[in-house]
Amino acid sequence: MTKKTLLVLALAAVGGLNAGLAQADTLKKIKDSGSATMGVRESSGALSYTLGDGKFVGYHVEICQKVLADVQKSLGLAKLDIKYQPVTSQNRIPLVQNGTVDIECGSTTNNTARQKDVAFAVTTFVEEVRIAVKANSGITSIAQLNGKSVATTTGTTSVQTLRKNERATGVDFKEVFGKDHADSFLLLESGRADAFVMDGAILAGNIAKAKNPADFKIVGEVLAVEPIAIMIRKDDPAFKKAVDDSIMAQMKSGDIAKTWSKWFEQPIPPANVKVGMPVNDNTKAAWATPNDNPAESFVKK
């Protein structure tokens, strides 16, 4: 094979790669296939969780179902098949990047590092990272975690957030990892961890589903304020606009507030227990002024 032939083949390969990278046209993909794949979580509190048998529900799941109904209408599709793909903290970004998942509806923090790899819709929930402990543990603050075991979920940012907190200076604790949020909560429930650090909504949701919810409580300082958003592929402005427009319409009509109340203030399946978490002021502000600002913009200067 001549050098000229090799050069032509190499240029063709690069051209093909670039063409592949430029093909983030989710609306066309959905229209051509008549289907959309929603990334969902199995235990992200009332944001996104499974009832078993392939059924997924929650605040973000319902918002995404309404988004996809609007997309179906705009594309003129008589029917849209929604496929549900469970994702984890570790694989959610790669599965969005490679096209396995079209829209990820779990509990993902929008931050500048992740924005290099994926795009985010307008913020639908502003989370407060907190600490869950057993009610009889006596732990009420970060300082009391010294010498303790702290559970977190692999692939999440919560323990890094805890370590960066000014009140964590000199506090030495051991990290134990759960493969997902339910596994991390089980570490706390079984006594293998003294605390579980995570988004407050996820903590509240897992406590609500526990055998004895009264055995647990959320304590201590707010460790961080983080925008949680629906994740989509990067460099796909048409799909991002379609998703944002649907979500902003839900905000403007007051529908998103009703969706929040349904999942966080009313009894939810399978146990028909209330999470009991009213919407916070930061989330209300995000609904009033829709934006896709990253977590770094929420840090107090």
Over its C-alpha atoms, the chain yields an Rg (Å, rounded) of 21
Is the confidence at residue 3, as pLDDT, over 90? no
- pTM assigned to the model: 0.81
Domains located in the chain, CATH noted:
25-126+228-298 (3.40.190.10), 127-226 (3.40.190.10)
pLDDT tens readout for residues 190-232: 999 999 999 999 999 999 889 999 999 999 988 989 999 999 9
pLDDT tens readout for residues 22-73: 558 999 999 999 999 999 999 998 999 999 999 999 999 999 999 999 999 9
Write out the DSSP string of 148-194: -EEEEETT-SHHHHHHHSGGGTT---EEEEESSHHHHHHHHHTTS-S
Q: Is 48 in a helix, a strand, or coil?
A: strand
pLDDT tens readout for residues 88-120: 999 999 999 999 999 999 999 999 999 999 999
